[in-house]
Amino acid sequence: MLDVKAWREKWEAMDRTDIQSLREMTIEESVKIYLSLCHAIAPLIEETRDVFFADRKAYLVELQEQLRRFGEWKRKQNGNCAEPA
């Protein structure tokens, strides 16, 4: 039986391998995997929609606010103070 240190070393080695694989992945490969995961968990999301609706809505509201602030910051960085179309 492996001791805790040996297990930890194995997990760390696997993590390093996973990280290296992710770094070598193209954007297209990453998007393909992401969309595949979204498709795989879509039924679970639908089943739990009512349970987590309030949390998801709050998250989306916060995300929109962050994106709005980012857009304002980006316009200021570019010297363009005009409102977006």
DSSP string, the chain: ---HHHHHHHHHHHHHHHHHHHHH--HHHHHHHHHHHHHHHHHHHHHTHHHHHHHHHHHHHHHHHHHHHHHHHHHHHTT--SPP-
pLDDT digits (tens, 9 = 90+) for 14-58: 888 888 887 888 889 989 999 999 999 999 989 998 999 999 899
CB 24 within 8 A of CB 17: no
pLDDT score at 1 = 55
